[in-house]
Amino acid sequence: MTTTPGTPSGPSAPDASGSTSTLERARAHSPRQLAAASVGNLVEWYDWYAYSFLAVYFATQVFPESESGLTQLLNTFAIFAVGFFFRPVGGLLMGALADRIGRKPALTATILLMGAGSLLIAVLPTYASVGILSPILLVLARVIQGLSVGGEFAAATTFLVESAPPKRRGFFSSFQYVSTTIGQLLASGLAAWLASSLSEGDMQSWGWRIPFFVGAGLSLVGLVIRAGAHETLEDAEDLRTGRTARPGLFDALKHHPRESLLIVGITIAGTIAYYTWTTYLPTYAQTYADVSKADSLQAGTIALVFFALLQPVMGTISDRIGRKPLLITFAAFFVVATVPLLRLLDTSMSRLLLVQCIGMVFLAMFTSISAAVNAETIPARVRASGIGFPYSLSVALFGGTAPYVGTWFKGQGMDSAFPIYISVLCLVSLLVYVFALRETAHKPLP
């Protein structure tokens, strides 16, 4: 079926021969589509988080010895930040690929890239054996993974929401963060198990490589599952053969500037709250409230399981009452409650767990539906690239920097500044939700 830009095409309209449309075929196999999107996202985030969990072990293998082991660790985390920088690039490039030739080829490319990056880290030669080439290869691996993660969100978000039945887009959207959280839990669980099973010397010499080999293997599993998925871009065949004009790389920004800015505004509160509550809060509790490392990690793990279970619940609620009520409630809560919640922290694990779980109830109101809201904001012709670049840029600027900003405030003696910083950013998004965002839950995809 050939469509031209601006021509309406119903999601289940038959083509000229009477056969069903691309979207109707995809939605007829929605469980398979859900699995294809979720497994790839799980693998992507397993690999992404494995790096941060294991950096403390391989830092000494990749960088030359220094008087302070902290220098080597800081170098390793600097390379971790390189991955965040390349996420917007990946969102733009892989999103454009998804818009120009189809969602399925883009999903194949992202999972192959992540597997290649993970395998490169797994076989990374040490600094002692190849010198400066070792950190150079690590940078290359993180660039590949950054491109992959940025592209994965763009392609998988689009694919996931387009595969959903019209009245269940919120529910399908919620599995974006179910799979993300499971990937994070698998990475932390395997890292913790290896650390407890192997000696410190074994972990530093070869044990840290195991999770990256596992990640490369999981990428192949995800690739096989995605091979059986159905394309969701209506005119993918015509785009590939040139019968329909392909969108340009920056068409989404050029023709839909309001929607692009809207995605940035939608994302700011979600990304700062997400990275603070799911990633940085255990470290924050150790730094500001003297919670022990073991207690903070245990509380964080329990809270993540709770967080994953909340996603489908919130997604289903949004399908019934709409997206805006959940987004407004989420942002308003963090504007008002961030400062008092973080002040509740003391040295006990139970207090940290309580603070995390309370925050995650409201955070899930955003994460469960962010994929749906983004996909419902941008037209299909430029949907993947239109989501991928502004979303990943917002994450890199406001989410990926959260641990650094929180630690910097502590170093400056401004202990109360970080919670206020979170509240101010959430206020920005709250204004967007109230005054700029239209309700899209019960409307067809644009």
Q: What are the pLDDT digits (tens) for 210-225? A: 999 999 999 999 999 9
**CB-based contacts of 158: which residues, under 8 Å, 6+ apart?**
95, 98, 103, 232, 375, 383, 384, 387
Cβ contacts of 443 within 8 Å, gap of 6 or more: 376
The domain limits of the chain are: 23-229, 248-446
| Residues 283-332 pLDDT 10s | 788 878 888 877 887 888 899 999 999 999 999 999 999 999 999 999 99
| Percent of all residues in the chain with a pLDDT value above 90, rounded to a whole number | 57
Residue type, 430: L
pLDDT in tens, 352-364: 999 999 999 999 9
What integer pLDDT is reported at residue 25 of this predicted model?
Answer: 61
Mean local confidence (pLDDT), 353-376: 97
Cα–Cα distance, 226 to 230 (Å, whole number): 9
pLDDT in tens, 416-439: 899 999 999 999 999 999 999 999
CATH (one of 3.40.50.300, 1.20.1250.20, 2.40.50.140, 3.30.70.100) for 248-446: 1.20.1250.20
Would the pLDDT of 74 be above 70?
no
Q: How does pLDDT run across 123-132, given as a tens digit for each residue?
A: 999 999 999 8
Rounded Cα distance, 446 and 444, in Å: 6
pLDDT of residue 80: 67
- At residue 300, what is the residue type? G
Non-local CB neighbours of 233 within 8 Å, separated by 6+ positions: 22, 98, 99, 102, 103, 162, 239, 380
Mean pLDDT computed over every residue of the chain: 87
- CB-based contacts of 223, cutoff 8 Å, min separation 6: 108, 111, 112, 115
248-446: same fold as 23-229?
A: yes
* Architecture of the 23-229 domain: Up-down Bundle (1.20)
